[in-house]
Amino acid sequence: MKLKPFVLLAFVLALCSSAFCQPKKDTIYYDEDWSICEKPVAEYYRVCELNRDSIFFYKGEVKDYFIDGRLEMTGDYANGNNKNGEFIFYNKTGKIIKKGDFLNNVMMGDWYFYDSLGRLRSQFFCKTQFDFTPVLLINNYNDTLLKNGSGEFVLNNVTNYPYIRSRFGCMIKGKVHNGVKDGEFKYYNYPKKHLLYNEKYEDGRFVKSKWLENGYYGYWMQDRLFILSLSDLSLEKTDAFYHSNMVFGEGRQGLQKLINFLSYDIPPQISASSNIDERDKICFNIIFKILDDKFLEDSIYVITSDIEDGNNSEKLSTSNITISQLNALPKLHGDITLTVDTIGAISDCIFKTNLPDDDVHKLDYYLKHVSGLPIAHDKGEKTSRTLNLQLNTIIDTQKNNLFVVNYLLNNPKAFVPIVDAPKVSGNYYKEFTSVQTEAKFPGDWNKFLERNLNAQTPADHSAPPGRYSVTVSFLVDTTGNISEVIAENDPGYGTAQEAVRVIKNGPNWQPAIQNGRKVFYRQKQTIVFEVMKF
């Protein structure tokens, strides 16, 4: 049967409306520590719908992936960032490693944990992630320690159940009957096996607890300490929008960088010190941070800084290590050449070292995010300069067959003089209308409009089909702050008001530049609305 024209049109519009109603998915990347980062240094990523109304949280289904595209976790969030329903976690081979339900962010009911081959190893009944009872326990030797929620058991979260988190290595002895705790639960530190904490239960009901000092004396308490937890650390970090990654940093500035990145796609930068004599040291810090995370995380070291006759150097030292520890440490050496361009950023990195390729990739990424380095001048003109960093390993022999290993990063005195920008005459506190470099939006302008502009404004005000352009004028000061936002024209239908609102509520802009200095500048930006004809 043929559809009449108006019926066919309605059918097509219904399909289009359905497609446009699909929620827009966001992709958030994480490094190996589940800290939010950019894609080039990511180990995981999350596909989700991100709320941006006031505070960030996830809405609806989320899926976490390993960076190669293999599924790592599936789950669901209700409004307000509350985990609800079943969450399933996978390893890189696609095997389920744990699963269970959340109710309003609380682990509830039965949770199941599997080994790397997908074999069930434990089951816990959860009232919360801190209050749970073992129902099934199977150790690494396939011995069944507990079955059907009844019997006595010994549980070691160091050797067999690392997903049970605690403040210390812990061994627990206890008894359960018909799925509830009964009698004494004893908590020992591991490997010393000193009794630290007792809990008493009667048919699942908590009675009292005792904290002991060195296993000898203690005092009874009416409250539990909740020493153990089944909560997943990666989930805790993603829920909190954890961002310790170097390009963001911590504190208020790090939070603002995160907001700008997630809301407006503004790439974060690593800012050098405001002290011109110490600005280059951010490069040393980045290099040693990567080396420390990769090679030296188990070493005991101190950081020392030496500045002598213009030569910068930094050193990581391991003290009093044995011959076996010495043999396990990497012997790092080579040259790293960094080119600092005329705006104080690193434009090129050359590595002639024995560092692995993945570390070279990370170093290249982080170093190219540095801004605010000293700028070199030659006869009053800005010029590029080089940082020639030498990486060496120095081994000193001590008494009793012990060794000290020094990782030294040295920057011989640069051959290009580093000076402040030359003094130029003129009033740089006035408002400029013409500059050498105009103010610039710091991120992706089209994505910013897509996420923040109400493009339906003219249609909502019954505007006829057509294009409606609004030119917005605003002042950008030397720190990027925006003020005096006005619409220079008004096509009507609410477009001018909407264009002004978007600029006012947006992020800071990058300031205009005149003679190498940031200045006040009157910026103009055009925003176009379009009403389609159907």
Task: Give dist(CA 129, CA 134) in Å, integer.
Answer: 12
Task: Give dist(CA 36, CA 234) in Å, integer.
Answer: 11
Q: What are phi and psi of 264, to 5 degrees?
A: -125, 10
Measured CA to CA in angstroms, residue 334 lies from 30, 266, 284, 373 at distances of: 30, 34, 14, 23
Could you tell me the two tokens for 38?
Answer: 């950019």
Could you tell me the two tokens for 363?
Answer: 């170093």
Torsion of Cα atoms, 189 then 191 then 195 then 199, to 10°: 50
Could you tell me the two tokens for 170?
Answer: 């812990």
Task: Give dist(CA 179, CA 186) in Å, integer.
Answer: 18
Peptide bond into 191 cis (omega under 30): yes
Q: Is 39 helix (H, G, I), strand (E, B) or coil?
A: helix
Could you tell me the two tokens for 452?
Answer: 């923040």
Domain 431-531 has CATH 3.40.1710: no
Task: Give dist(CA 437, CA 510) in Å, integer.
Answer: 10
Q: pTM of the entire structure?
A: 0.74
Task: Give dist(CA 321, CA 300) in Å, integer.
Answer: 9
Residue 423 makes CB contacts below 8 A (sequence gap 6+) with none
Q: How many CA atoms lie within 13 A of 10 on its CB side?
A: 5
CB atoms within 10 A of CB 58: 25
- Beta bridge mates, 132: 126
Report pLDDT for 315.
60
Torsion sign over Cα 229, 233, 238, 240: positive
Q: Say if CB 46 and CB 64 are below 8 A apart.
A: yes
Residue 373 makes CB contacts below 8 A (sequence gap 6+) with 272, 279, 280, 282, 283, 340, 344, 345, 346
Report pLDDT for 363.
93
CB atoms within 10 A of CB 435: 19
Q: What are phi and psi of 53, to 5 degrees?
A: -65, -50
Measured CA to CA in angstroms, residue 423 lies from 377, 432, 479, 516, 520 at distances of: 12, 19, 20, 10, 18
Could you tell me the two tokens for 168?
Answer: 């210390």
Q: Is 155 helix (H, G, I), strand (E, B) or coil?
A: strand
Report pLDDT for 481.
84
Q: Is 41 helix (H, G, I), strand (E, B) or coil?
A: helix
Distance of CA 236 to the CA centre of its chain: 12
Task: Give dist(CA 142, CA 151) in Å, integer.
Answer: 17
Report pLDDT for 63.
97
Report pLDDT for 311.
45
Q: Say if CB 11 and CB 4 are below 8 A apart.
A: no
Report pLDDT for 201.
93
Task: Give dist(CA 413, CA 396) in Å, integer.
Answer: 26
Residue 207 makes CB contacts below 8 A (sequence gap 6+) with 200, 201
Task: Give dist(CA 429, CA 446) in Å, integer.
Answer: 31
Report pLDDT for 347.
92
Taken as a whole, the chain contains a residue count of 534
Q: How is 398-432 classified by DSSP, letter by letter?
A: -GGG-EEEEEEEEEPPPSS-B-PPPP--S-TTSEE
Residue 13 makes CB contacts below 8 A (sequence gap 6+) with 534
Measured CA to CA in angstroms, residue 433 lies from 70, 476, 485, 523 at distances of: 53, 11, 15, 8
Q: Is 303 helix (H, G, I), strand (E, B) or coil?
A: strand
**Residue that is written with structure tokens 């989320």 in the block:** 62
Q: How is 21-85 classified by DSSP, letter by letter?
A: TSPPPEEEEE-TTS-EE-GGG-SEEEEEEEE-SSS-EEEEEEEEEETTS-EEEEEEEETTTEE-E
Torsion sign over Cα 193, 194, 196, 197: positive
Task: Give dist(CA 114, CA 89) in Å, integer.
Answer: 10
Report pLDDT for 308.
39
Q: Say if CB 134 and CB 124 are below 8 A apart.
A: yes
Distance of CA 62 to the CA centre of its chain: 17
Domain 23-129 has CATH 2.170.140: no
Give pLDDT < 50 ranges for the chain.
1-21, 297-311, 414-426, 428
Closest by CA position to 132, among listed 154, 114, 112, 160: 112
Domain ranges of the chain: 23-129, 134-229, 269-411, 431-531
